[in-house]
Amino acid sequence: MPELSLTTEDSILAIPQTTWDHFSGGRHPFLRHSFLAALERSGCTNADTGWQPCHLKLSLNGELVGVAPAYLKGHSMGEYVFDWAWADAYRQHGLRYYPKLLVAVPFTPCQGPRLLLEPSFRDQLRPGQINQALDQLMAGLGLSSWHLLFPDGADQRLLNDLNEVPDANCGAGQLHRLGCQFHWHNRGYSGFDDFLARLTSRKRKSIRRERRQVLEQGISFEHFSGGRMPADALETFYGYYQATYFKRGQRPYLNLDFFRELQWQQPESLHLVMARRQGQWIAAALFLIGDDTLYGRYWGCLEEYQHLHFETCYYQGIELAIERGLGRFDAGAQGEHKLIRGFEPTLTHSWHGIAHPGFREAIARFVEEEAEQVRQYRQDAGTALPFRQDSAAD
C-alpha cells in the first residue's frame, strides 16, 4: 500500500498559489488560494479569532499529491456542524477538547472537495487511509479530535471505510455524521416561469403573490458582477451584512477588508444583488459562482419589508442560476421555509476522529441515532415540496 503522510503549514501563504490551485482546480470559489488568503490577510482566520491556519500537505511515497484547508480551532463557532455538547462533556470530565483539528472552509457550510488530491494518486488510496493519516496527525499534535466537514462524493468514497478498525496507536476511529440542507436544482428551465410551471397551482400562485407584493412596495433590484460594482456598493452591502449579526447580538465573522480582498482577487466569482426603494438601496445579497453551482452566502438589510428576504436571497438567485445555466443553487444552511419554494432536502456529511476511546464510543452511539433521525427528517421534508405530481423533482 502506498505510504501516505500529512504535514502542516501555519499559513496559506506558505504554499505557492500555483501549487494550491493546481490541486484545487479553481472550480470551487471557496477552495481557491485567493479565497483562503483573503481570510488570512484580513485577519478573519488567525489564532486570535480561534481559526489558526494549519493547512495540510498530503504526500504519497514522499511526493506532494494534494493539499487541504485546515485549522486548529479554539471553539466551535462558524462551523455549522455542532459539537458544543461534545466539548461540554469533555469539560465536565476535566478534559481538554480544544484545540481540535478542523478540515473545512471557514464560515462556509457548502458541500465540495476537502481533500484536494491529484486524480491519478486519489485512485491509489484505499478507503480509510486518509482517516488513519488524520488519526496519526491528531496524535502527533496532541489534539482531542479531528473533523472534516461537508465533503463531496469523491471524498466520501475515500473516507468511507466499511471495514474500519480503530488505529492501534491512538485508540481512535472515525464517526460519520449526517445533516440536512435545502438545495434548488435546475431541471433545464428556460426561465423563472418555466420553473413555476413545475409547481402545483397553489404554490405557483403563492410565489407569484410574494413577488408581486415586493414590487408593490416600490422595490426593484440591481445586479452587479464583482468587477463592475459601483464604488460604494460593497461598503453598503457590508453595513447590511453587519446588521444581520447585530440584530442577534453577535459580531460578524467577516470584515470589510475580507470582502475588498475577495473582490480584488477573484471578481469573476462574485455577484451582488442590491434592492432599491425610493432611490435608496435597502438590502443586499452577495452570491458566489462556481462551475455549476450558485452559492447564496451573505445577506442583510436595515429595515424589514414583506417578502424582501425571499425575493433577494432566493428568487433573484433562482433567476440568476437559470440565466447562467447553473445546475444547482445552494442558498446556505438550514431554512425549512425553502422547501415550499422548491429547494429540495439534501443530505450533508461530516467525518470525525475522536482520540479518547470512551468518548468515541459514546459519541458513536449519538451519531448513529442522529443519522436515523436525519434520514427520516429528509424523507418527511420531501413531502412538503411544491412540485406537481406529474412533474415531481427527480
pLDDT digit string, tens, across residues 238-294: 999 999 999 889 999 999 999 999 999 999 999 999 999 999 999 999 999 999 999
* pLDDT score for 128: 86
* pLDDT score for 168: 34
pLDDT surpasses 60 at 164: no
Phi, psi of 279 (to 5 degrees): 80, 0
Pairing status of strand 173-185 against strand 344-354:
antiparallel
pLDDT surpasses 60 at 134: yes
Q: Which residue has cell 422548491?
A: 342
Max Cα–Cα distance, the chain, nearest Å: 67
Measuring CA to CA, which residue among 326, 310, 325 is closest to residue 275?
A: 310
Measuring CA to CA, which residue among 195, 155, 182 is closest to residue 296?
A: 182
C-alpha angle with apex 313: 240 to 224, nearest 5 degrees?
70
pLDDT more than 70, % of the chain: 95
Contact 289, 326 (CB under 8 A): yes
Could you tell me the three cell numbers for 113?
Answer: 472537495
Could you tell me the three cell numbers for 185?
Answer: 436544482
Q: Report pTM.
A: 0.94
Give the mean model confidence (pLDDT) for residues 41-50.
97
Could you tell me the three cell numbers for 359?
Answer: 468518548
* pLDDT tens figures, 219-242: 999 999 998 999 899 999 999 999
* Cis bond before residue 99 (omega within 30° of 0): yes
* pLDDT score for 161: 61
* pLDDT score for 393: 53
* pLDDT score for 221: 98
Contact 171, 357 (CB under 8 A): yes
* 297: number of Cβ within 10 Å: 22
Instruction: Quote the CA–CA distance of 100 and 118 in Å, as a whole number.
Output: 27
Confidence grade of residue 52 (pLDDT, cut at 50, 70, 90)? very high
Instruction: Quote the CA–CA distance of 231 and 234 in Å, as a whole number.
Output: 7
Which amino acid, 201? S
pLDDT surpasses 90 at 81: yes
More confident site: 174 or 79 = 79
